[in-house]
Amino acid sequence: MKVIVCKDYDDMSKKAADLVISNIIEKPQIKLGLATGSSPVGLYQYLIKANDEGEISFKYAKSINLDEYVGIDSENEHSYKYFMKKNFFDHVSFNEGTNILPKAKDNDEKYAKDYDKILDEFGQRDIQILGIGENGHVAFNEPADKLNRRTSIVKLADSTIEANSRFFASKEDVPKYAISMGMADIFNAKTIILLANGKKKHQAVKRLLEDESLSTDFPAGFLSLHPNVYIYVDEEAYRG
């Protein structure tokens, strides 16, 4: 794992964006794995800027996302689809239909199987952008006795509901379930870029960098098995 300690959120976003930009210049038909959450918003802004300035284009690129809340309409402002449109897709030059997100109307595992098929057709991603949960979750793979290799419907940890309630009117409004790409598919990317900023992420970052054991109660730890991971972390998350 290559660790890049950045001054602050903006510096982290810019440095990570530079890596993505150079990959897009090299391979315009890039396949991107994208993430939601506050961590990648700055990176998306730098990609939008590079697109606006003509440095890159997403015309030949495709993207696929990690996760989505269960039972949430894509027009709902809390859906990850809405988030991606607002923060990224509406501002760049992707061709219509090339941005894929999972969807699940209810807890039926058939939605997970459907997404596995879509992932298989999509093929290996060149880059996967990732955030990290305060509890070490990746996408919505929560700490548990077992982790899933492939897509599943997951019950969100209380701590995740708490952390994500900042985006909702109240904690009660946060969906209790999500559909999430599994660990094997997340890692099926040539390069992984993990973003972590702010004091709240310090414990997770410390464990990721210092604890050499692997445990399903810390899903992010499995990133160390991947040969090409870049961790962009700001001073606050790095030093606490």
Residue 204 interacting with ligand GLP (CB under 6 A): no
- Strands 62-65 and 99-100 turn out to be parallel
Strands (E), 78-131: 99-100, 125-130
Contacts of 192 (CB under 8 A, 6+ apart): 127, 128, 130, 186, 223, 226, 228, 229, 230
| Stretch binding ligand GLP (CB under 6 A), from 5-13, 30-38, 42-50, 147-155 | 30-38
Identify the DSSP state of 138.
Answer: B
Q: Kindly list the catalytic residues.
A: 67, 135, 137, 142
Residues pairing with 129 in the sheet = 193
> Least CB distance from residue 26 to ligand GLP, whole Å?
26
Q: Does 135 bind ligand GLP (CB under 6 A)?
A: no
Among 67, 68, 126, 142, binds ligand GLP (CB under 6 A): 67
Contacts of 215 by beta carbon, 8 Å cutoff, 6+ apart: 221
Quote the least distance from Cβ 187 to ligand GLP, whole Å: 15
Binding residue (CB under 6 A) for ligand GLP from 66, 127, 174, 189: 66
Site size toward ligand GLP (CB under 6 A) is 13
Q: Residues in the site for ligand GLP, rule: CB under 6 A? A: 35-39, 66-67, 131, 133, 139-140, 160, 164
